[in-house]
Structure 1
């Protein structure tokens, strides 16, 4: 049994690569959320690149990093849950098959929602705060923790878990698709210790798996973002998930479910690529250049879970 199965390792190792992924991808996530929840009657942004330009011009570069504290805080715990649950689920399922990879990933995705949902609620609220203002005079939340504390004080546990159902619907199949896609791609591409293109192959597999995961559940993410941003201005627009779907489709048509998709796909590949690159460097320096590729090969043939590099590199927030 390797150190990858140690709870402390699972808790602390993913922080470095995961943090790199968050730093690279958070601006894209901010743009995605702004596009998903903007008022259809008075839209502020015409598209992905216009949104980027507007945020930098109106709110400075730091506007793209609003709410980053929340995913940074929850990152380690979510990675520990995801990788630990996925590995244990694969051991219980036995055979390392694509179907079992999906089931194990789905189980991991469902369980980590306990942390993911409140984390994304705080992130979304912070990202929407002070939209279009360089120095907001109506700053409701000081930071992510203050945001959750205020929501809890006003709405209780139910308020902190706003969007939990949609988060479960998104994360459960989303993580299943990610682990399945990554497993299929790494097997097809090969991961041999003497392959000079092993690292590019891993980067490509991780990036494409992330894209596949987002495409499979993106419409649900739009509804989740709208529900979690609802009430920021003091008025609740939606009474339920079904009501949010009905109102969104009635006002904007079915294309509403693709709002922010370009930003999401642009984010998916580099986030996974940055994470894989960081993992590779950590393995090379901590275990030696020759041992790191061996771990990769063992991961491909192991019946104890998904590929080990895969387990260390899945970011928090499809």
Structure 2
């Protein structure tokens, strides 16, 4: 088993969160709250209501958990890839096919759902909870006072399964998204590696990582919208009876364009985030594999 990929993926994921979190907060609010008509409208409202710190609400959740989920994704991807190579080539050192990379990425994306779903649900609810900076009225007091209070409140009011609201949409988002992500990264690195070299230059690694992130989110955004709406639905009166009902109601109320809410912001955030993720991952995995 390749343990270096679990460790490198963990650190890379944590650095990625630090870079992209404010974009993620704006994206989640646009996807789930109809009062925001666009990116700048959401940014202005957040600054006016909560100040700059409003963009970082719930950040402690992904910082402590995304490193784990990123570890699961990269570790599962690498080890599934080795298993596939062993199965059809008889050697884990054989060059992978595009299908091998796609299937290993799909497995990595789906594998992280069990670990990621509870933390993602808490993150989204904390991000969507907007309260004035100087709130004094009881009516304006936030429902959740922090990550742990959010966790216990969800379990008390909705049961443990409340932490997995939106999990099917999350799996349908991350499976195809990570399959596209790793396939795009691998293909670009192959194209950008000079003749006679085994590895691309660091600039090529960062470029490939950024483009891979954009490609992954282009595929994953429609299910990301549904996932976020289902997760936020538990904060108040229920609007959706389930996954399919959420899809049909979202289309009925907002039209087919609803599936692309936050797409531009996702892609804008994905490029720098995944430049950092893959740079950190490749740097660490190379060091760990050569260490005695």
What TM-score range do you get, normalising by the shorter chain? 0.7 to 0.9
- How many positions carry a matched residue from both structures? 277
Counterpart residue number, 2:100: 100
Corresponding position: 1:38 with 2:20: no
Residue in structure 2 matched with residue 247 of structure 1 by the alignment: 249
Matched, 1:29 2:24: yes
Retained in 1: the 8 A contact 2:72–2:111? yes
Tell me the CA shift for residue 158 of structure 1.
1.3
Counterparts of 1:40-189 in structure 2, within 5 Å, are 43=35, 45-94=36-85, 96-131=96-131, 133-136=132-135, 137-189=140-192
Cα distance in structure 1, aligned partners of 2:229 and 2:193: 41
RMSD: 2.5
Cα distance in structure 1, aligned partners of 2:21 and 2:70 = 17
Alpha-carbon distance, 1:217 to partner: 2.2
Q: 1:60, CA displacement in angstroms?
A: 0.9
Deviations 1:119-138 (A, max 9, x none): 1100000001125x224542
Q: Using a 3 Å threshold, how does the CA distance of structure 1 residues 76 and 163 change in structure 2: closer, same or farther?
A: same
What whole-Å deviation, never above 9, does each CA across 1:241-300 have from its counterpart, x for those lacking one? 22111211111111111111121111000101222344466579x68xxx89xxxxxxxx
Equivalent position of 2:237 in the other structure: 235
Segments of structure 1 that go 5 or more residues without pairing to the other structure are: 293-318
Q: TM-score, normalised by structure 1?
A: 0.80
Taking a change above 3 Å as real, the CA distance of residues 97 and 152 of structure 1, as seen in their structure-2 partners, is same
Shift of 1:192: 7.1
Cα distance in 2 for partners of 1:93, 1:257 equals 34
TM-score, normalised to structure 2, is 0.86
What is the SS of the residue equivalent to 2:159? helix
Per-residue deviation, 1:85: 1.3
